[in-house]
């Protein structure tokens, strides 16, 4: 089935040690998103790609970077994780056409632990 895949599902890193989370999709959607979600909160958008155009949220720290080498893959790089970056990271995809946005599908998430 077409889907959004995130790897790994659980990631443990040390304080300050760079980490990369990956996302792939088989939906051929032109928009990909990265969200951060902490306990009992709504997902918080970090940035998104509309095709190759990168759109950063104003309050996303510089510590968070993203890459989208092709339509199917998108990466989240955390350059120097702090304890406050421990969270669930969600990837999502959507199709944006002239009529607007279509349904946004989420991956299962990667739970990041920072020691």
* DSSP-derived secondary structure for 50-110: ETTEEEE-TT--TTEEEE-SSSSEEEEEESS--GGG-EEEEEEEE-EETTEE---EE---E
Q: How far apart are CA 21 and CA 101, in angstroms?
A: 25
Q: Does 48 bind other proteins (CB under 8 A)?
A: yes
Binding residue for other proteins, selected from 24, 33, 34, 114, defined by CB under 8 A: 33
Q: Does 14 bind other proteins (CB under 8 A)?
A: no
Q: Does 54 bind other proteins (CB under 8 A)?
A: no
Closest CA relative to residue 66, chosen from 43, 50, 42, 82? 50
Binding residue for other proteins, selected from 27, 73, 79, 106, defined by CB under 8 A: 106
| Piece in contact with other proteins (CB under 8 A), picked from 13-21, 35-43, 63-71, 79-87 | 35-43
Q: Does 29 bind other proteins (CB under 8 A)?
A: no
C-alpha torsion sign, points 43, 63, 67, 54:
positive
**Toward other proteins, which CB reaches closer, 15 or 50?**
50
Q: How far apart are CA 27 and CA 111, in angstroms?
A: 23
Q: Which residues bind other proteins (CB under 8 A)?
A: 4, 6, 31, 33, 40-43, 45, 48, 50, 55, 90, 92, 94, 96, 100-101, 103-109, 111
């Amino acid at each position: 089935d077409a889907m959004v895949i995130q790897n790994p599902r659980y990631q443990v890193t040390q304080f300050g040690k760079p980490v990369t989370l990956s996302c792939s999709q088989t939906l051929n959607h032109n928009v990909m998103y990265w969200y951060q979600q902490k306990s009992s909160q709504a997902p918080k958008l970090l940035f998104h790609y509309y095709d190759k155009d990168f759109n950063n949220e104003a309050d996303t720290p510089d510590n968070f970077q993203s890459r989208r080498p092709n339509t199917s893959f998108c990466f989240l790089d955390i350059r120097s994780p702090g304890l406050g970056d421990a969270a669930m990271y969600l990837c999502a995809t959507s199709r944006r056409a002239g009529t607007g946005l279509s349904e946004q599908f989420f991956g299962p998430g990667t739970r990041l632990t920072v020691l």
